[in-house]
Chains A and B, each alone.
Chain A
Amino acid sequence: MFQVRIHGRGGQGAVSGAEMLSVAAFLEDKHAQAFPSFGSERMGAPVVAFCRIDNKEIRLREPVLEPDALLVQDPSLFNSVDVFAGLKADGYLIINTAKSLAELGIEDAARQLPEGHVWTIAATELAIQHVGRPSPNACMIAALARACGTIELDSVTAAIRKKFPGKVGEANVVAAQAAFDNAKAFK
């Protein structure tokens, strides 16, 4: 089972991101379960959403406590939330930022993970550029597809189109493709 935890802030579409990731996995004939952390939904408040992907039925209903991948949609969360809690030693870390990990103060933490498992992408900027809204969620799951082979980009773009039919979806697909192409591995 591959377990993903998405950290974001209310309004950034963390829950929709988890849903789209589950749809992408479903389109690959996998079982997937996406669910939010069930907090009060307020703009700007820390939000967590989860997605599990497996080749068999998923019965587990606890929150994702030991993620295989962390998607951090707002790096300011590193200062207020224990984002790394339970991250597996060989886990993946995808951060929405245009800054370096040293600037974010998490270079040491990132070095604990295997090479090629830590990626950054300026997802908010890409979303503003292509979608006209600071919604990094589609870009983040596209970057996950780039970072690890758990999910294909084609499935991600198909899931985006299902979630947001029409112009908004197409714009998000363009942003996601750009995120896939421009995601940077930390060395």
Chain B
Amino acid sequence: MLKQMEGSMAVAEAVALARPEVICAYPITPQTHIVEGLGEMVKSGQLENCEYINVESEFAALSVGIGSSAAGARTYTATASQGILFMAEAVYNASGMGLPIVMTVGNRAIGAPINIWNDQTDSMSMRDAGWIQLFCETNQEAVDVHIQAFKIAEKLSVPVMVCMDGFILTHAYERIDMPEQAQIDQFLPPFNPRQVLDPANPVSMGAMVGPEAFTEVRYLAHRRQMDALELIPQVAQEYAEIVGRDSGGLISTYKAEDAETLVISLGSVIGTIKDVIDQRREEGEKIGCVAIRSFRPFPIAEIRKACANAKRIVVLEKCFAVGMGGMVASNVRMALSTQPVPVYNVIAGLGGRPITQTSLHNLFNEAAADKLEGLHFLDLNQEVVERELERQRLDECSGSVAENILRDIGAVAASKV
């Protein structure tokens, strides 16, 4: 059914269609509307047979989720930013114990300095925690991918993180084609746990494992993620057959077949990139893009295939490993290590800085001329940077970088005591 609705409410409805049995909720911007929406559905009785548990922190949210999932309940939670950091230990435990929890991350920057706006550093901080990570381009995709996430998680007994750009998607009102309950009931069977806590048949979960077996446990976790490379497209196909919409899979490509310049990115910025590609295609430039939907497992074979004929790759990512560069580009470079093609890494949209068509055109102009440096910061204000470096040269006690820059650009009063 077509509806015009907020991304967060659409995800709440989609999660409800999956008939979760336990929802653990702790609010943090920008995911709060999702768990609020679900809370209202549980209270009104629209979502039946579901226990909604308010907890005291993100650590508690996922810890309760671990308990309920271990007890055989289909379990959902959501978080963002500092919240995912606070639950980090439980994030590893959920995957280490093989518990198929589904968690939304409403992607937001990580402080300090405090920033409530969108980038993807939060999800990326947990990229190696053993969860499957799926990134959504639109709210429609977020709806479809959340439902698929439960099936993927439960078939493999691995938790799945569904990542959607905070505010840009979570707070955007747009057209959603919401599946019918009967379709989802046909698509997603009841949760049949691989392992379950049962008083009648006591087991120990999360037991200590020493050097004699730890490597094998980890290796098998990797094997499960490699299995996910097969399963994710298969589940997307099953979903498409029932719901009639293709919106899953490992990657998606746009005008990539003959592209000399291939842009790789993930999340909502793909939409803007597609518009820019269309404008440049009209001028005759051979440019296309690849959206990475599954970042974990990383689809090495698909990336290689998509990049086989490109003359240059531009990896644009909303996350940044200080002291290294982009996490996505590092992964892409590894995938393409046997292909002699330049990979330019562009860090963009940090802390909510808009990624505009104008900036992308300038960027792609430089890329087409192979004038980009290996690591490029989109719209970096070099003058502000130089002035701060000068302050540091002149004064050993020059103060907080963040405060100095806010004063410099006039965002706070220039009264230095």
Contact = CB atoms under 8 A, between A and B. Distances in A.
- Residue of B4, B138, B275, B355 with highest tally of chain A CB at under 10 A: B4
Contacts, number: 62
Interface in A3-32: 18-19, 22-23, 26-27, 31-32
Given A26-B4, A35-B173, A61 B167 contact: no
B268 A61 contact: yes
Given A58-B174, A61-B272, A62-B272, A35 B4 contact: no
Contact of B172 (A23, A26, A34, A65): A34
Given A62-B354, A62-B355, A65-B356, A32 B272 contact: no
Contacts of B271: 58-61
Interface in A43-66: 58-63, 65
Contact of B116 (A27, A40, A58, A65): A40
Contact of B274 (A36, A59, A63): A59
Contacts of A62: 272, 354-357
Contacts of A35: 167-168, 171-173
The DSSP consensus for interface residues of chain A is: mixed
A36 B167 contact: yes
Interface string A109-148: 0000000000000000000000000000000000000000
A59 B167 contact: no
A34 B116 CA distance: 19
A145 to B, nearest CB: 17
A38 B357 contact: no
Contact of B173 (A23, A38, A40): A23
Contacts of B272: 59-62
Contact of A61 (B2, B173, B269): B269
Contact of A19 (B6, B352, B357): B6
A35 B275 CA distance: 18
B275 A22 contact: no
A30 to B, nearest CB: 9
Given A60-B271, A60-B272, A62-B355, A31 B175 contact: yes
A19 B173 contact: yes
A177 interface: no
Interface string B323-345: 00000000000000000000000
A154 to B, nearest CB: 16
A32 B173 contact: yes
Question: Which interface class (under 10, 10 to 19, 20 to 34, 35 or more) fits B?
Answer: 20 to 34
Contacts of B357: 60, 62
Interface residues of A, number: 21
B294 to A, nearest CB: 21
A38 B4 contact: no
B117 interface: yes
- Residue of B168, B175, B272, B356 with highest tally of chain A CB at under 10 A: B175
A36 B268 contact: no
A62 B118 CA distance: 13
A22 B175 CA distance: 9
A62 B268 CA distance: 10
Contacts of A36: 167, 171
Nearest to A65: B356
B174 A22 contact: yes
Contacts of B116: 38, 40
A107 B271 CA distance: 38
Interface string A163-175: 0000000000000
A42 to B, nearest CB: 13
A33 interface: yes
A100 to B, nearest CB: 33
A63 B168 CA distance: 10
A26 B175 contact: yes
Contacts of A18: 173
Nearest to B4: A26
Nearest to A19: B173
16 contacts: A23-B173, A26-B175, A33-B173, A33-B174, A38-B118, A38-B171, A58-B271, A59-B138, A59-B274, A59-B275, A60-B275, A60-B357, A61-B168, A62-B272, A62-B354, A62-B357
The 9 closest A-B pairs by CB, nearest first: A59-B271, A26-B4, A34-B173, A38-B167, A35-B172, A62-B356, A22-B173, A33-B174, A23-B4
Interface of A: 18-19, 22-23, 26-27, 31-36, 38, 40, 58-63, 65
Given A22-B173, A33-B172, A58-B271, 11 more contacts: A31-B175, A33-B173, A33-B174, A34-B172, A34-B173, A35-B173, A38-B352, A60-B357, A62-B272, A62-B355, A65-B356
